[in-house]
């Protein structure tokens, strides 16, 4: 007796589940589900060649394309910029395209900041109090950049350096 009572509700639940599954399949397969699946298979097939070519390129990078690899994902280089009244002293004047972090130290007695303006870049640190430091990270392309102090008229007073990236 008890077995037949437990079996009956399970059959009813299973039947309801089948009906729901069939209804969902029938409604979806008419038109709406077929067009997304065809477009997604088209996009996945178009992305497959690009991913396979990039993996092929990276595997052969050691041999032929080593010159393009550093430009795309080279390490961030650090340049020290010391600011005094009224000069900006950079630790290097030789720049190649890539990402640079300028480690800016205010070695003077007035408040300074460092601004870099050039191709694709227009960035500045906040004001840097005397004795303090700040960093500014920029991605430099080939071209000429202007490194200056945007505080008051410090740029006119001489805190203005042109750097060439090549
Ligand atoms: Cu300044």
**98-153 residue pLDDT tens:** 999 999 999 999 999 999 999 999 999 999 999 999 999 999 999 999 999 999 99
What local confidence, expressed as pLDDT, does residue 74 receive? 80
Q: Tell me 60's DSSP state.
A: S
Nearest C-alpha neighbor of 93 from the set 84, 104, 101, 81 = 81
CA of 90 to the centre of ligand 1 (A): 14
Q: How far is CA 156 from CA 98, 149, 152, in A?
A: 28, 9, 9
Q: Percent of the chain, pLDDT > 90?
A: 55
The model's confidence at residue 91, banded by pLDDT at 50, 70 and 90, is very high
CA of 134 to the centre of ligand 1 (A): 13
The model's confidence at residue 73, banded by pLDDT at 50, 70 and 90, is low
Exposure letters 93-108 (e unless 16+ CB within 10 A, then b): eebebbebebbbbbbb
pTM reported for the whole predicted model:
0.57
- The least confident of 19-28, 82-91, 98-107, 139-148 is 19-28
| pLDDT above 70 (res 30) | no
CA of 164 to the centre of ligand 1 (A): 22
Nearest-angstrom CA–CA distance, 73 and 99:
9
Residues bordering ligand 1, an ion, CB closer than 5 Å = 112, 149, 151, 154, 159
CA of 130 to the centre of ligand 1 (A): 10
> Could you check whether the bond before residue 144 is cis, i.e. omega within 30 degrees of 0?
no
């Amino acid at each position: 007796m008890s077995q037949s009572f437990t079996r009956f509700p399970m059959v009813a639940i299973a039947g309801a589940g089948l009906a729901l599954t069939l209804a969902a399949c029938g409604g979806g397969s008419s038109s709406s589900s077929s067009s997304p699946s065809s477009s997604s298979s088209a996009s996945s097939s178009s992305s497959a060649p690009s991913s396979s070519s990039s993996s092929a390129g990276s595997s052969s990078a050691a041999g032929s394309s080593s010159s393009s690899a550093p430009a795309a994902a080279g390490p961030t280089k650090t340049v020290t910029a010391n600011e005094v009244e009224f000069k900006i002293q950079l630790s290097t004047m030789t720049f190649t395209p890539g990402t640079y972090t300028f480690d800016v130290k205010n070695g003077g007695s007035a408040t300074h900041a460092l601004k870099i303006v050039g191709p694709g870049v227009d960035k500045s640190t906040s004001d840097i109090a005397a004795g303090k430091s700040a960093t500014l990270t920029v991605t430099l392309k080939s071209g000429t950049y202007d490194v200056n102090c945007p505080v008051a008229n410090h740029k006119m007073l001489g805190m203005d350096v042109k750097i060439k990236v090549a």
